[in-house]
Amino acid sequence: MTAPRSEMIKSKAKAGSRTISWRARLGLVLFMVVAAVTVWTTNRALTHRFTESTRNRAELRLALYSGNLLSELRQHAIVPQLLARDQTLISALQSNDFSLSTQRLISFVDEIGAASIMLLAQDGRTVAATDRNRLGSNHRNAAYFVDAVRAKSTVFSVIPREVGGYRFTYSRRIIDATGVLGAIVVEVDLQKFERAWAGISDAVLVTDSTGTIILATEARWRGLKEGDALTLQTPEGAIQRAIRATTDWTALPPDAYLQGEAVMRLETRVPFQGWRMASFTTYSSVRERVNAVLALEIMGFAILLALAFYALSRKTALRMALFQRESAELRVLNARLQREIAERERMQKTLAVAEQSLAQSSKLAALGEMSAAVSHELNQPLAAMKTYLAGARLLLNRNRPDEALASFGRIDDLIERMGAITRQLKSYARKGGDAFSPVNLGDALASSLSMMEPQLRQRHVKITRILPEEPVMVMGDRMRLEQVMVNLLRNALDATKSVADPEVEILLAAGETATLSVRDNGVGIKDFDNLFEPFYTTKQPGDGVGLGLAISSGIVNDLGGRLTARNGQNGGAVFEMQLPVLVDGIEAAE
């Protein structure tokens, strides 16, 4: 027996290994697919998110740069107007005494932060300047002098430099009562913005109203159109950092191409003489941040994959060790089974003896239940007979024999009813099929109330009956139906013992089914699960054995009906007996 077991264990081990291998391959494929989809989705989502974040920061920087540039221009626009009204400078032009004028201009340049200030005479000659090298130079043909002398307001000029780039000046004429005395020229230092922009990763340029670049982080761009400037091969600098991104790095389409590479181009308007500012932002920070997250994801998947392989190897080793141990255990189990078989054969003999004892006990229990049922069902007629005998004795003592004979007649009916109850209990015990006949539920209810009349009168219970005008007919045994009604009425009376004004409402209705409802105003029902179980009762010892509802439910079920219980909306319990209605001799289905 051991050899076949060992062969079976080996075959199971091989089958288990094949199953593990197949599942491992499928799990590995699914894992790789999930990893690839996750990395692709993360790359796309984070690239889009970081690109938008980079664009937002670039837009913020561009707005800041344009605001600083505009602030610088507006700050210096008022300076020529103030200097043109300076009485010291006017007096110097009138008297041709400029010995103190240069020093005065130098004191002004420190306060306003201008690049330089020049005072020009009526003939365009420089008579005072913060840069002493310019003293004596003639600017008769310069645009800032010619336009300033002709205009009545401050003139802004962009002057190309000989060495490249541009000078930015504000100029205004100086006049007195005799006419034009000269002009004041204030040069604005906008190159400081170029130096500041060159320290960032963005490439920035400013164009005038004609589209010519006048400020740029790349010196070779100045004086060119933007399209021409972008085609130049510039040396390593800010623009080289700006073109280190390709279109596949971004989730958005490229804004511009520089040296064949895609860059993010942003543009804003500088509200000054039609100027515009543009920036070219690098994508390198986007790629670096996305790659950092992707590296963490890939590392996490790699760790999970390594753990999965380790777990599979450990599982295979454990399975093999388990199979070997099971093989040893099975050999021990074979010997144990032999002992258990002998033990079970002995137990079967003991069990046969116990089953015989149990059958005898079941018979005794059935006899006890039947005797309790007989006691319960005969208790009500006996109580009624006791009441009628007491009434008959009293009537005979009062010399009223005719009325006493009527009580004896009722006693005779109750004796006949007791005989019928014993026959019904036999029928209930064997679930027989006694012959049924049409029964008027209204008449059966009246007979049941007549039987319960002594208890109702003694308890002073208010009885409310609601009956239809037409008879309600069902197919059944009238005696058994009266037995059910008496049990329901007796339960209602017992439920109202603790109530000051006991009430019992009886409702008989006919529809799809014949329904008899008995409602009381007692405390209601607490345990619905065991309500119709035999020997279950909430009454005090001696008041009942708990078989009334069990017997009643069995009778109603035998008649094809249903007995239910619930608590009323205004308190108390409601018992409903539903039976198929008999219409023109045909019993309706429930």
Sequential DSSP letters for 418-483: HHHHHHHHHHHHHT--PPPEEEEHHHHHHHHHHHTHHHHHHHT-EEEEE--SS--EEEE-HHHHHH
Contact 211/221 with Cβ under 8 angstroms?
no
Cα–Cα distance for residue pair 533/547, rounded to 1 Å: 8
pLDDT at 433: 47
Tokens standing for residue 337: 């089974």
CA distances from 233 to 174, 224, 260 (A): 47, 14, 11
Residue 523 has a pLDDT of 81
Specify which residues 180 forms β-bridges with: 175
Map residue 124 onto helix, strand or coil.
Answer: coil
Please enumerate in sequence order all residues whose Cβ is within 8 A of that of 249, keeping only pairs 6 or more positions apart, or say none. 47, 283, 286, 287
Q: How far, in Å, are 39, 303, 396 from residue 582 at the CA level?
A: 77, 79, 45
Length of the chain (residues)? 590
Beta strands in 102-218 (DSSP E): 116-121, 126-129, 155-160, 166-176, 179-188, 203-207, 213-216
Task: Tell me the domains of the chain and their CATH numbers.
Answer: 31-232+253-283 (3.30.450.20), 435-580 (3.30.565.10)
* pTM, to two decimals: 0.43
> Tokens for 214?
């006048």
End-to-end CA distance of the chain, in Å? 63
CA distance 220 to 222: 6
Residue 421: per-residue pLDDT:
64
Burial of 362 (0-12, 13-18, 19+ CB in 10 A): exposed
pLDDT at 428: 45
Q: What is the predicted pLDDT for the residue at 590?
A: 43
* Of the candidates 271, 247, 256, 254, the residue with the CA atom closest to the CA atom of residue 226: 256
- The angle subtended at Cα 164 by Cα 162 and Cα 165, nearest 5°, is 115
Please answer whether residues 169 and 187 qualify as being in contact, where contact means their C-beta atoms are separated by less than 8 angstroms. Answer: yes
Q: Write b or e for each residue in 77-111: b if 16 or more Cβ atoms lie within 10 A of its Cβ, otherwise e.
A: bebbeebbebeebbebbeeeebeebbebbbebbee
Q: Which residues of the chain have pLDDT under 50?
A: 1-3, 6, 9, 234-236, 241, 244-252, 256-257, 260, 359, 362-363, 365-366, 428-433, 542, 589-590
Task: Report the pLDDT value the prediction gives residue 244, as an integer from 0 to 100.
Answer: 47
Q: Kindly state the tokens that stand for 25.
A: 């391959």
